[in-house]
Amino acid sequence: MAPPVIVLVRPQLGENIGKAARAMLNFGLTEMRLVAPRDGWPNPAAGPAASGADLVLERAEVFATVAEALHDIPHVYATTVRKRGLVMPVVTPEEAAREMRALPERSAILFGAERSGLETDEVAVAGKIVTVPINPAFRSLNLAQAVILLAYEWSKHETLAVPTEGEPREPRATQSQLEGLVQQLYGALDAADYFHPPDRTPATKNTVRTILTKAGWSNREVQAMRGIVRALVQGRRK
Amino acid sequence: MAPPVIVLVRPQLGENIGKAARAMLNFGLTEMRLVAPRDGWPNPAAGPAASGADLVLERAEVFATVAEALHDIPHVYATTVRKRGLVMPVVTPEEAAREMRALPERSAILFGAERSGLETDEVAVAGKIVTVPINPAFRSLNLAQAVILLAYEWSKHETLAVPTEGEPREPRATQSQLEGLVQQLYGALDAADYFHPPDRTPATKNTVRTILTKAGWSNREVQAMRGIVRALVQGRRK
Chain B hits for A228, CB-CB cut-off 8 Å, are 185, 189, 194, 208
Chain B hits for A145, CB-CB cut-off 8 Å, are 23, 26, 145, 148
| Ordered DSSP codes for B40-78 | -SS-TTHHHHHTT-HHHHHH-EEESSHHHHTTT-SEEEE
Position B112 scores a pLDDT of 96
What percentage of chain A exceeds 90 in pLDDT?
56
Position A179 scores a pLDDT of 86
Tens of pLDDT, residues A111-138: 999 888 998 888 888 888 999 998 888 8
Average of per-residue pLDDT across A18-41: 97
Which chain B residue shows the shortest CA-CA distance from A148? B145
Nearest Cβ partner for B145 among A148, A166, A167? A148
Q: Assess: ipTM above 0.85.
A: no
Q: Which residues contact A2 (CB under 8 A, 6 or more apart)?
A: A106
Chain A hits for B228, CB-CB cut-off 8 Å, are 185, 189, 194, 208
Best mutation target among A135, A182, A223 (most B Cβ atoms within 10 Å) is A135
DSSP code at position A174: P
Best mutation target among B51, B91, B152, B209 (most A Cβ atoms within 10 Å) is B152
| Phi, psi (rounded to 5 degrees) for B34 | -115, 130
Tens of pLDDT, residues A217-234: 989 999 999 999 999 998
Task: Return d(Cα B178, Cα B220) in angstroms, integer.
Answer: 11
Task: Return d(Cα B233, Cα B238) in angstroms, integer.
Answer: 10
Nearest Cβ partner for B189 among A132, A140, A228? A228
Q: Cβ of B192 and A217 within 8 Å?
A: no
Nearest to A126 by CA among A156, A90, A178: A90
Tens of pLDDT, residues A41-78: 999 999 999 999 999 999 999 999 998 999 988 889 99
Position A65 scores a pLDDT of 93
Q: Splitting chain B (238 residues) into consecutive groups of 10 residues, what average pLDDT does each group show?
A: 92 97 96 98 96 96 95 92 78 94 91 92 91 90 95 80 46 89 94 88 90 90 93 75
Task: Return d(Cα B183, Cα B156) in angstroms, integer.
Answer: 38
Chain A hits for B23, CB-CB cut-off 8 Å, are 145
Q: Cβ of A163 and B225 within 8 Å?
A: no
Position B162 scores a pLDDT of 37
Indicate the pLDDT class of residue A169, thresholds 50, 70 and 90.
Answer: low
Indicate the pLDDT class of residue A163, thresholds 50, 70 and 90.
Answer: very low
Chain A hits for B132, CB-CB cut-off 8 Å, are 152
Task: Return d(Cα B148, Cα B60) in angstroms, integer.
Answer: 17
Q: Do residues B135 and A155 touch, judged by C-beta distance below 8 A?
A: yes
A17: pLDDT strictly greater than 60 = yes
Position A168 scores a pLDDT of 56
Measure A149 CA to nearest chain B CA, in Å. 7
Average pLDDT, chain A: 88
Position A16 scores a pLDDT of 97
Position A142 scores a pLDDT of 92
Which chain A residue shows the shortest CA-CA distance from B131? A163
pTM, entire model: 0.80
Nearest Cβ partner for A167 among B90, B148, B224? B90
Position B175 scores a pLDDT of 86
Chain B hits for A133, CB-CB cut-off 8 Å, are 155-156, 158
Position B160 scores a pLDDT of 40
A160: pLDDT strictly greater than 70 = no
